[in-house]
Amino acid sequence: MSMNGAKGLLLEEPVIFEKSSPGRTGVEPASFDVPEADIEGIIPKQMLRGAIEGFPDVSEMDIVRHYTRLSQWNFGVDSGFYPLGSCTMKYNPKVNEEAARLPGFAMLHPYEPEELTQGALQLMYELENYLAEISGMDAVTLQPSAGAHGELCGLLAISAYFKDKGRPRTKVIIPDTAHGTNPASSHLAGFKVVPVKSEGRGVLSLDAIKGVMDRDVAALMLTNPNTIGLFERNIKEIADFVHKKGGFVYCDGANLNALMGIIKLGELGVDVIQFNLHKTFSTPHGGGGPGSGPVGVKKALAPYLPVPRIKKTRSKYSLDFNRPKSIGRMKAFYGNFSIMVRAYSYIRRMGAEGLKRASETAILNANYIKENLKGTYHLPYDEPCMHECVFSDKYQLGSGVATMDIAKRLIDYGFHPPTVYFPLVVHGAIMIEPTETETLETLDKFIVAMKAIAEEAKTSPQALKDAPANTKVQRVDETKAAREPILRWRKG
């Protein structure tokens, strides 16, 4: 089997500022057909910027080559397999891009009146309903602009609910298998985080929740499937117990790609969920973005969702700002609209059956990788997994090879590394999420590469320590980059 990784010619490229040559331009604007005005006579002096330091004078070709070369140094889901666990780096179908570029959507101005935006409002209204149907929720807002932003929105709605009822609650329970953003979002929403450990088989137990649940707990915030890739099988009885104590259950929807069309989280007792459209619903992700993190809630929390809400009366759509209990706006205007168009396009193109098959195939692919690699790499939780599986470097540590070296070596074989050192409950975690969009041939190549690397760890560990060797830039000093970051270019 020939591997993906190969050497190729890459061209050096300086930062754009260093390509500047005074007076060089890309385009020559037409000459004025109106009298030239003195800018200082129109705009107050203190609001004029004057010169911009280092602003590059470059030609059109300079710019095209600059960004093309930089893009060739990069690795994206359009260039190869990207099994980044917990991130669902699935392929982004090009039909989504076509839909988002329809002039009626792409040229829309957020201040256009409702009569002229009925199509866009209908799309948003229907997308809300699709997401509610997929998750078993009663109401959805599309406003938040990323997953963690959605978490904050959902938690603020929970906080507003308890304040509104005259009995504010102060704590959120978060298991050790939750996403890292969950404690941060809770903290930002003003809650105190109560950590709870998962039991021996990597899932939450009712007893663990009973130990920490009281009348000050506003919500249990869990991820299902959790970050070990396991289904929280006790979720229903845990949710029933949390409800009995008057709390809500927030499910981080980052891992929804394992559940679409198979179960509705709402029916398992979940009251709030955020949808990462840039993960599960195939919109661009990881630097490309922007993200989108709609939030679904049960009826009790619906009055607290951000304004404006989209309302449908007979056949007319409108924006409803008259929601006195609302937490207010989460974002300017209505969220990242072009991302909603892409997610809508994905859902419509897949259909209910297609979405279910996507989740089933994502689970099958993860289990295929898990079964094929489990003798080669240590598998801390040998259970049927959902859409991702977690290994560790325990078998390789003896020869001085750690997770980071394995990850870097994968680049030489032409694969993006998986998520490493997360989740924290597994020492030296290697978290692989193949997604449903990869072929069996790609999965087999990846498995062969992982096995070859395990072999190299025994016979030539130094090759792993020095990896990656085929890339333009070799191993970078991540510690120095974090300790002494250089965040902006300055004239030399």
Partner 1 sequence: MEFPKDLKYTKEHEWVKVDGSIATVGITDYAQDSLGDVVYVELPQEGGSVTKNEPFGVVESVKAVSDLYSPVSGSVAEVNDAIIDSPEVINDDPYGDAWMIRVEVHSPNDLSDLLSAEEYQKYIEEEK
Positions touching partner 1 (CB under 8 A) are 180, 420-422, 424, 427, 478-479, 482-483
386-to-224, 251, 364 alpha-carbon distances in Å: 10, 16, 8
Q: Tokens 């704590």 appear where? A: 171
124-to-286, 293, 329 alpha-carbon distances in Å: 24, 13, 17
Nearer to partner 1, 339 or 426 (CB): 426
Q: Which two tokens stand for residue 283?
A: 């919109």
The helix (run of H) or strand (run of E) holding residue 149 is helix 147-164
How far is Cα 181 from Cα 153, in angstroms, rounded to an integer?
A: 13
Nearer to partner 1, 37 or 476 (CB): 476
Nearer to partner 1, 159 or 419 (CB): 419
How far is Cα 319 from Cα 334, in angstroms, rounded to an integer?
A: 10
Q: Tokens 């396009």 appear where? A: 345
Maximum C-alpha span of the chain: 79
How far is Cα 296 from Cα 220, in angstroms, rounded to an integer?
A: 16
> How many other CB atoms are there within 10 angstroms of residue 464's CB atom?
25
How far is Cα 306 from Cα 304, in angstroms, rounded to an integer?
A: 7
Strand partners, 171: 192, 217
Q: Which of 224, 243, 218 is nearest to 154 (CA)?
A: 218
Nearer to partner 1, 160 or 404 (CB): 404
Smallest separation, CB 121 to partner 1 (Å)? 41
Smallest separation, CB 351 to partner 1 (Å)? 40
Smallest separation, CB 197 to partner 1 (Å)? 12
Smallest separation, CB 391 to partner 1 (Å)? 16
Smallest separation, CB 36 to partner 1 (Å)? 52
Smallest separation, CB 368 to partner 1 (Å)? 28
**What secondary structure letter does DSSP report for 29?**
P
End-to-end, the C-alpha distance of the chain in Å comes to: 48
Nearer to partner 1, 125 or 421 (CB): 421
Nearer to partner 1, 17 or 421 (CB): 421
Cis preceding-peptide flag for 468 (omega within 30 of 0): yes
Residue 290's contacts (CB-CB under 8 Å, 6 or more residues apart) are 145, 146, 336, 339
The letter for the amino acid at 492 is G
Nearer to partner 1, 125 or 422 (CB): 422
Smallest separation, CB 182 to partner 1 (Å)? 13
Smallest separation, CB 134 to partner 1 (Å)? 32
* CA atoms within 13 A of residue 10's CA, in its CB half-sphere: 16
**What secondary structure letter does DSSP report for 335?**
S
Burial of 95 (0-12, 13-18, 19+ CB in 10 A): middle
**Size of the chain, expressed as the number of residues it contains:** 492
168-to-40, 183, 215 alpha-carbon distances in Å: 54, 19, 10
Q: Which two tokens stand for residue 397?
A: 């540590």
Nearer to partner 1, 93 or 183 (CB): 183
Smallest separation, CB 481 to partner 1 (Å)? 9
Q: Are 266 and 134 in contact (CB under 8 A)?
A: no
Nearer to partner 1, 204 or 420 (CB): 420
Helix (H, G, I), strand (E, B) or coil at 450: helix
Nearer to partner 1, 195 or 328 (CB): 195
Nearer to partner 1, 229 or 428 (CB): 428
Nearer to partner 1, 349 or 427 (CB): 427
Smallest separation, CB 344 to partner 1 (Å)? 36
Smallest separation, CB 87 to partner 1 (Å)? 17
How far is Cα 186 from Cα 180, in angstroms, rounded to an integer?
A: 11
Smallest separation, CB 177 to partner 1 (Å)? 15
